[in-house]
């Protein structure tokens, strides 16, 4: 394993074992469940036990501390700044976001996600404050994070349950953009974390592609370059292992039908059209049904996406495969009044503090595999890693 770079932050602790009920989904042959999971098995008798893991992504919308960083444009998010970002407001933001993370996908699993990609976090400390909040502290999350060169000072990170996922390698891939030959446009890196999910190798990529500032058409080339970087990362992993299970997630600032997805990454939502090693995007079907993760000028977009390689559709015994994806839009995440009624309930609206959550809804998917009836959750020793925090 290569040593960590100085800019990288990684936390791994020895966690407590999962109870036997956590991370499992009991599927009986009652009529609704049989219809729901008919595609997974041609014959269901008695009851089948499936281990289920939740993979989620959330743009947490400007999770900043209250300190002024002289190297980034974070002046607004200070007590003296335009947003009057006080300790009380910061604490409320932590409470709000940690509540959301604790509940994504829990209607099915009765627990929080096992893997979470996040973006718009200022630094390692705010991520630590987030995972150590009482809403999440008992979940035992680890952190993989790099400081990115983004001029606003916002980064991406991966959170993982230490009892479930063991990171093996991690890297931050820089996206080089130029507004002019000598004018660099500093943006977010793409984070790649490879490891063992219940002893099965899976690779995760966390993205936050360039915004649509200046208009969709004018800013499109930047997202095409971000998609090209994502494709190169995926290709490099597949070059070593063609059937690698790769999950890419993030706020792409593009919809599933835009050129960055369809022409560069060549994603598809049709299983019959998916080539071996190709990319399947379940968010496209949601988008075509009018489902979104953020709204702008009364129009829904689905910028927040999770897509993956074809190997996660392969129903091999004893390995994880894709089940379904969704947008987490719990009622408390939706504004109920004002000009933004029906929109995601954000922290600031129209320049005023509202105390909400984020201007994005989280997205998530379930991975499942059939488990032996007497299977228990895996145990794992604490690995020896350099530069632990």
Alpha carbon separation from 376 to 18, 21, 198, 322 (Å, rounded)? 8, 9, 11, 21
Residue of higher predicted confidence among 24 and 382:
24
In the DSSP assignment, the letter for residue 222 is H
Taking the C-alpha atoms of residue 94 and residue 97, their distance in angstroms, rounded to an integer, is 5
Which domains, ranges and CATH numbers included, belong to the chain? 53-368 (3.60.10.10)
Write down the pLDDT at residue 373.
61
The 10s digit of each residue's pLDDT in 19-71 is 323 444 443 333 333 333 333 333 334 567 889 999 999 999 999 999 988 77
Residues in the chain: 389
Write down the pLDDT at residue 315.
79
Per the listing, tokens 């979104």 go with 292
Answer yes or no: is pLDDT of 345 > 50.
yes
For residues 7-29, give the mean pLDDT: 39
Beta strand 304-309 with 279-280 is: antiparallel
The 10s digit of each residue's pLDDT in 69-79 is 877 888 899 99
Residue 17: φ, ψ to 5°: -60, 145
The 10s digit of each residue's pLDDT in 214-259 is 999 999 999 999 999 999 999 999 999 999 999 999 999 999 999 9
Share of the chain above pLDDT 90, in %: 75
For residues 13-19, give the mean pLDDT: 31
Write down the pLDDT at residue 47.
64
DSSP labels, 22-86: TTEEEEE-SHHHHHHTGGG-S---SEEEEEEEEEEEEEEEEE--SSPPTTTT-TTSSTTSTT---
Of 95, 147, 151, 142, give the one whose Cα is nearest residue 116: 142
Answer yes or no: is pLDDT of 186 > 70.
yes
Alpha carbon separation from 345 to 96, 105, 207, 249, 350 (Å, rounded)? 11, 19, 23, 22, 12
Answer yes or no: is pLDDT of 7 > 70.
no
Q: 263: pLDDT confidence band, cut at 50, 70 and 90?
A: very high
Residue of higher predicted confidence among 58 and 5:
58
Whole-prediction pTM? 0.86
Write down the pLDDT at residue 375.
52
Answer yes or no: is pLDDT of 103 > 50.
yes
Share of the chain above pLDDT 70, in %: 83
Q: 12: pLDDT confidence band, cut at 50, 70 and 90?
A: very low
For residues 363-374, give the mean pLDDT: 86
The 10s digit of each residue's pLDDT in 145-183 is 999 999 889 999 999 999 999 999 999 999 999 987 878
Taking the C-alpha atoms of residue 304 and residue 306, their distance in angstroms, rounded to an integer, is 7
Write down the pLDDT at residue 284.
98
Of 126, 134, 172, 156, give the one whose Cα is nearest residue 7: 172
Taking the C-alpha atoms of residue 373 and residue 185, their distance in angstroms, rounded to an integer, is 54
What average pLDDT does the structure give for the chain? 86
């Amino acid at each position: 394993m290569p040593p960590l770079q100085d800019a990288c932050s990684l936390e791994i602790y020895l966690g407590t074992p999962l109870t036997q009920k956590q991370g499992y989904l009991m599927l009986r042959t009652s009529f609704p469940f049989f219809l729901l999971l008919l595609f997974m098995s041609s014959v269901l008798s008695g009851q089948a036990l499936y281990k289920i893991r939740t993979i989620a992504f959330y743009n947490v919308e400007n999770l900043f501390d209250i300190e002024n960083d002289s190297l980034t444009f974070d002046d607004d998010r200070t007590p003296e700044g335009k947003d009057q970002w006080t300790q009380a407001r910061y604490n409320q933001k932590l409470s709000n976001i940690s509540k959301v993370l604790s509940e994504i996908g829990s209607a099915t699993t009765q627990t929080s996600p096992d893997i979470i990609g996040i973006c718009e976090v200022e630094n390692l400390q705010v991520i630590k404050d987030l995972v150590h909040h009482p809403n999440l502290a008992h979940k035992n999350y680890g952190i993989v994070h790099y400081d990115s060169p983004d001029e606003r000072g916002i980064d991406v990170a991966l959170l993982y349950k230490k009892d479930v996922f063991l990171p093996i390698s991690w890297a931050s891939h820089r996206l080089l953009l130029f507004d002019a030959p000598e004018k660099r446009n500093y943006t977010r890196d793409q984070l790649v974390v490879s490891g063992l999910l219940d002893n099965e190798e899976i690779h995760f990529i966390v993205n936050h592609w360039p915004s649509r500032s200046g208009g969709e058409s004018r800013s499109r080339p930047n997202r095409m370059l971000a998609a090209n970087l994502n494709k190169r990362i995926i290709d490099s992993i597949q070059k070593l292992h063609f059937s690698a299970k790769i999950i890419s997630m993030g706020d792409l600032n593009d919809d599933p039908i835009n050129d960055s997805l369809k022409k560069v990454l060549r994603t598809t939502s049709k299983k019959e059209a998916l080539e071996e090693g190709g990319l399947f995007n379940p968010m496209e079907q949601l988008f075509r049904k009018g489902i979104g993760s953020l709204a702008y000028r009364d129009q829904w977009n689905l910028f927040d996406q999770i897509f993956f390689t074809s190997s996660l559709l392969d129903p091999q015994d004893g390995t994880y495969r894709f089940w379904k994806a969704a947008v987490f839009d719990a009622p408390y995440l939706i504004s109920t009044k004002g000009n933004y009624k029906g929109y995601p309930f954000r922290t600031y609206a129209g320049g005023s503090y509202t105390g909400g959550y984020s201007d994005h809804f989280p997205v998530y998917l379930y991975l499942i595999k059939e488990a032996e009836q007497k299977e228990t959750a895996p145990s794992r020793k604490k690995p020896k890693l350099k530069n632990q925090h």
